[in-house]
C-alpha cells in the first residue's frame, strides 16, 4: 500500500515542480530536471545523510521516467490546472505525509535514534520543496508557510511511536495519513501559521 501511495506522492511533487518551472519560463528540459530534484531530492539527501546506498532512483531508474512523464504531462494540462487547485493541494499534502512515512521507515530499518527517525522523515518530506525554491531563486516557502514541516514532524512522531506497539503496519500507515493529511489541509484552509520571528537590525 505504501508503494502505491509513494508513486502518487512522487507524481504530485513532480507536477508542483513543473508549475514552478513554468512560472520561471524554463524550457522542457528544465521542467524535467526541476521535477526530478523536487520529487527525488528529499530521499536522495536522506540516503546521503544515512549512508543508505544505492539511492532509490539509482536502484529503480524507471522512477526517473515516471517523474519526467508527470512533468511533461503537466505542461499539456496546465491550462486547466487552476481549476484543479484544491485537488492539487490535496495531492501535495498527501505527498508530504507519505514521504515522511517512507523516510521514517528507512531510518527505523537501520535502528536509528528516535530523533534521527523524525529528522529522516522530515528531510524526505520537505527537502525536495526547499531545493525547488532555491533553484527558482526564492526563499524556500517551507520556512514561512502553513505548518508544512510541523505536519511532517507530527506524522513522523505518530508513525514512530505507533511502530513501537504491535499495531499492524498497514493500519498504522492509515492512522498516520488520517491524522497528518487533514492537519495539513485544515492548516491551509484556516491559514494556520507558526509564530514568526522578525528581526530587522543589521548584525
- Where does this chain bind its own copies (CB under 8 A)? 16, 18-19, 21-31, 33-34, 44, 48-51, 53-55, 58, 61-62, 64-65, 75, 78, 81-82, 85, 88-89, 112-113, 115-116, 119, 130, 134-140, 142-144, 149-150, 193-201, 203
The strand ranges marked E within 79-161 are none
Residue 151, judged by CB atoms within 10 A of its CB (0-12, 13-18, 19+), counts as buried
Nearer to its own copies, 161 or 169 (CB): 161
**Contact predicate 10/63, CB 8 Å:** yes
Q: How far is the CB of 36 from its own copies (least distance, A)?
A: 9
d(CA 121, CA 125): 6
Q: Which residues of 93-120 are buried (b: 16+ CB within 10 A; e: fewer)?
A: bbbbbbbbbbbbbbbbeeebeeebbbbb
Q: How far is the CB of 178 from its own copies (least distance, A)?
A: 23
Q: How far is the CB of 116 from its own copies (least distance, A)?
A: 5
Nearer to its own copies, 2 or 157 (CB): 157
Nearer to its own copies, 109 or 193 (CB): 193
Q: How far is the CB of 191 from its own copies (least distance, A)?
A: 13
**Long-range CB contact pairs, 57-65, < 8 A, 24+:** 63/10, 64/36, 64/40
Nearer to its own copies, 2 or 150 (CB): 150
Nearer to its own copies, 29 or 189 (CB): 29
Amino acid at each position: 500500500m505504501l508503494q502505491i501511495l509513494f508513486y502518487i506522492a512522487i507524481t504530485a511533487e513532480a507536477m508542483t515542480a513543473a508549475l514552478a518551472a513554468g512560472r520561471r519560463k524554463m524550457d522542457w528540459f528544465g521542467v524535467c530536471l526541476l521535477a526530478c530534484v523536487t520529487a527525488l531530492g528529499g530521499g536522495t539527501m536522506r540516503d546521503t545523510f544515512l549512508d543508505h546506498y544505492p539511492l532509490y532512483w539509482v536502484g529503480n531508474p524507471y522512477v526517473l521516467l515516471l517523474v519526467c512523464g508527470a512533468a511533461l504531462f503537466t505542461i499539456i494540462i496546465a491550462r486547466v490546472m487552476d481549476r484543479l487547485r484544491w485537488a492539487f493541494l490535496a495531492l501535495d499534502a498527501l505527498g508530504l505525509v507519505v514521504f515522511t512515512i517512507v523516510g521514517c521507515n528507512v531510518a527505523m530499518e537501520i535502528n536509528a535514534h528516535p530523533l534521527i527517525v523524525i529528522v529522516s522523515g522530515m528531510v524526505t518530506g520537505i527537502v525536495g520543496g526547499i531545493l525547488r525554491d532555491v533553484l527558482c531563486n526564492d526563499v524556500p516557502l517551507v520556512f514561512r508557510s502553513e505548518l508544512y514541516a510541523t505536519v511532517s514532524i507530527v506524522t513522523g512522531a505518530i508513525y514512530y511511536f505507533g511502530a513501537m506497539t504491535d499495531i499492524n503496519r498497514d493500519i498504522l500507515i492509515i492512522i498516520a495519513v488520517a491524522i497528518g493529511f487533514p492537519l495539513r489541509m485544515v492548516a491551509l484552509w484556516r491559514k494556520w501559521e507558526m509564530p514568526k520571528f522578525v528581526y530587522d537590525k543589521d548584525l
